[in-house]
């Protein structure tokens, strides 16, 4: 490996804002709207500026012009980032010791292919969750799969059954009113709502926990590859359940202590990191920061539960961030000229090895530039535990209960 050519620039100082894992709703005004979209809010709300739906061809010219200008400006920004930002990554206050921009050589990629990936020294894990929502019951199927290039596979599945109505008490009137109150708080069928976070957070929390539990307890390869953030929001907040947080911290601790891991998210919200990544050339990677600030920031702004004695849950997460967040780095890499930059997370002691694994696995897909092992784990999950594996038996069970159609929604019976 060799440093990127741009690292010869004189370094300066740069401060990165803490990550916002779960940002709140954006706050804007008409002036910012005008700056961002190039037209006033009044113009956007005036139907006389709109086109008839059958006249889409009239919009193609504007579409091509806007995209061409955006690509040109982004190319100019890439060069400025290389000259201005790259040299400051390793010199800014609080930067990890491994921060900077690096280039992997072809020989490094080949060595990683032969020595780690293709001989099964890396196992990848991914999960999937499928909800099936009806009035009497909501069913969530959660599956987790592992794969390696040696041919090893593993799969685990669990189903959650949420029922608002579980009779058995002595007061049928109160039970009926309780059910009505519960359903008033929930969302409509097949839709997400802030009023009904239990189902969504529960399935996300259980799935992300299961993925990391499988990585730590079921995988045998020395290197573990995961999907997403190694310390996700769902687990650091317990998804609204203090018991999940209590069980999550030991698993996350063991993951960090294992050290040989690399996580790659699919659609990160960190546009600052992605802007840095967009300035990379093929086979380059940048190590930007640790997760200490983002975990501490989450602990200060997240929802936690104070206990009668001992530290609160927010303090426990802060302690975790200060002790273990400093050991997790975040970075970006680019596998090919065609593909977008991708983010990655790794242990600081193995940051370069993790970046090489992510790059070596991603060069196998020039157009995506994303690790193929994660794609294989995802494909196995969707094939084994996809929607049809839940929908068909659920519909059969309703038919056997004497109600084949009553509780199925319009979307679920659409032809």
pLDDT at 414: 78
Q: How far apart are CA 231 and CA 234, in angstroms?
A: 8
Which has the closest alpha carbon to 273: 345, 365, 354? 345
**Tens-digit pLDDT profile for residues 110-131:** 999 999 999 999 999 999 999 8
What is the number of alpha carbons within 13 Å of residue 197 lying toward its C-beta?
A: 9
What is the pLDDT confidence band of residue 192, given thresholds at 50, 70 and 90? very low
Average pLDDT (304-326) is 79
On the question of pLDDT at 167 being above 60, the answer is no
Binning pLDDT at 50, 70 and 90, where does residue 53 land?
A: low
pLDDT at position 288 is 97
**Percent of the chain surpassing pLDDT 90:** 54
Note the pLDDT of residue 11: 41
With a cut of 70, say whether residue 39 has pLDDT above it: yes
Confidence of residue 308 (pLDDT cuts 50, 70, 90): very low
Give the rounded percent of residues in the chain with a pLDDT score beyond 70. Answer: 81
More confident residue, 55 or 18: 55
Q: Is the pLDDT of residue 24 over 70?
A: no
Residue 182 is predicted with a pLDDT of 64
Buried b (16+ CB within 10 A) or exposed e, 10-24: eeeeeebebbebeee
DSSP β-bridge partners for residue 122: 223
Least confident segment among 51-55, 141-145, 351-355: 51-55
User: Taking a C-beta distance cutoff of 8 angstroms, is the pair 291, 325 a contact?
Assistant: yes
The pLDDT tens digits for 127-164 are 999 988 887 888 889 999 999 999 989 999 999 887 76
Using DSSP, state whether 131 is helix, strand or coil: strand
Whole-prediction pTM value?
Answer: 0.82
Q: What's the chain's average pLDDT?
A: 85
Tell me the mean pLDDT in the region 324-343. Answer: 96
Alpha-helical (H) ranges within 218-350 are: 233-236, 242-258, 271-278, 292-301, 313-324
Q: How far is CA 349 from CA 74, 99, 217, 231, 324, in A?
A: 33, 12, 22, 17, 12
Q: Give the integer Cα–Cα distance in Å for 228 and 241.
A: 21
Query: What is the four-CA torsion angle of 351, 356, 357, 362, rounded to 10 degrees?
Result: 130
Is the alpha carbon torsion for 96, 100, 105, 110 positive or negative? positive
Span 88-115, average pLDDT: 95
Using alpha carbons, list the distances in angstroms from residue 280 to 83, 169, 198, 237, 354: 11, 63, 40, 34, 17
Other C-beta atoms lying within 10 Å of the C-beta of residue 198: 16
Per domain, the residue ranges of the chain are 87-397
Label residue 9 by pLDDT band (50, 70, 90): very low
In this prediction, residue 200 has a pLDDT band, given cuts at 50, 70 and 90, of: confident
Dmax over CA atoms of the chain, in Å, equals 78
Residue tagged 């050290």 (tokens): 259
CA neighbor of 132 nearest in space, from 203, 208, 210, 205: 203
pLDDT in tens, 222-280: 999 999 999 999 999 888 788 899 999 999 999 999 999 999 999 888 999 999 999 99
């Amino acid at each position: 490996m060799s440093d990127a050519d741009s690292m010869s620039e004189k370094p300066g100082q740069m401060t990165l804002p803490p990550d916002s894992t779960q940002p709140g709703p954006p706050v804007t005004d008409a002036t910012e709207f005008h700056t961002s979209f190039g037209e006033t809010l009044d113009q956007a709300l005036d139907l006389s500026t709109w086109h008839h739906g059958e006249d889409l061809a009239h919009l193609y010219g504007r579409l091509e012009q806007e995209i061409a200008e955006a690509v040109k400006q982004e190319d100019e920004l890439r060069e400025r980032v290389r000259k201005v930002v790259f040299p400051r990554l390793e010199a800014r206050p609080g930067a990890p010791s491994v921060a900077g921009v690096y280039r992997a050589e072809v020989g490094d990629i080949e060595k990683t292919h032969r020595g780690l990936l293709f001989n099964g020294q890396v196992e990848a894990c991914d999960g999937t969750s499928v909800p099936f929502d009806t009035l009497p019951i909501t069913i969530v199927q959660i599956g987790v799969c592992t794969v390696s290039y040696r041919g090893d596979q593993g799969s685990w599945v669990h189903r959650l059954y949420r029922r608002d109505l579980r009779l058995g008490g002595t007061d049928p009137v109160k039970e009926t009113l309780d059910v009505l109150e519960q359903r008033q708080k929930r969302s409509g069928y097949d839709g997400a709502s802030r009023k009904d976070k239990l189902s969504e957070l529960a399935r996300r929390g259980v799935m992300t926990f299961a993925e990391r539990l499988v990585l730590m307890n079921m995988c045998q390869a020395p290197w573990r590859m995961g999907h997403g953030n190694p310390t996700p929001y769902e687990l650091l907040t317990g998804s609204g359940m203090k018991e999940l947080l209590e069980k999550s911290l030991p698993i996350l601790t063991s993951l960090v202590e294992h050290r040989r891991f690399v996580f790659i998210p699919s659609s990160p919200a960190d546009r600052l990191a992605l802007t840095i990544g967009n300035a990379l050339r093929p086979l380059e990677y940048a190590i930007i920061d640790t997760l200490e600030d983002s975990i501490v920031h989450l602990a200060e702004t997240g929802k936690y539960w104070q206990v009668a004695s001992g530290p609160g849950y927010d303090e426990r997460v802060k302690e975790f961030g200060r002790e273990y967040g400093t050991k997790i780095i975040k970075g970006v890499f680019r596998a090919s000229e065609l593909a977008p930059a991708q983010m990655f997370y790794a242990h600081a002691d193995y940051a370069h090895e993790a970046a090489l694994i992510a790059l070596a696995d991603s060069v196998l897909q020039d157009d995506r530039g994303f690790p193929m092992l994660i794609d294989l784990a995802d494909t196995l999950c969707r094939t084994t535990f996809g929607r049809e594996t839940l929908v068909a038996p659920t519909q059969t069970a309703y038919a056997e209960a004497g109600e084949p159609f009553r509780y199925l929604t319009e979307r679920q019976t659409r032809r």
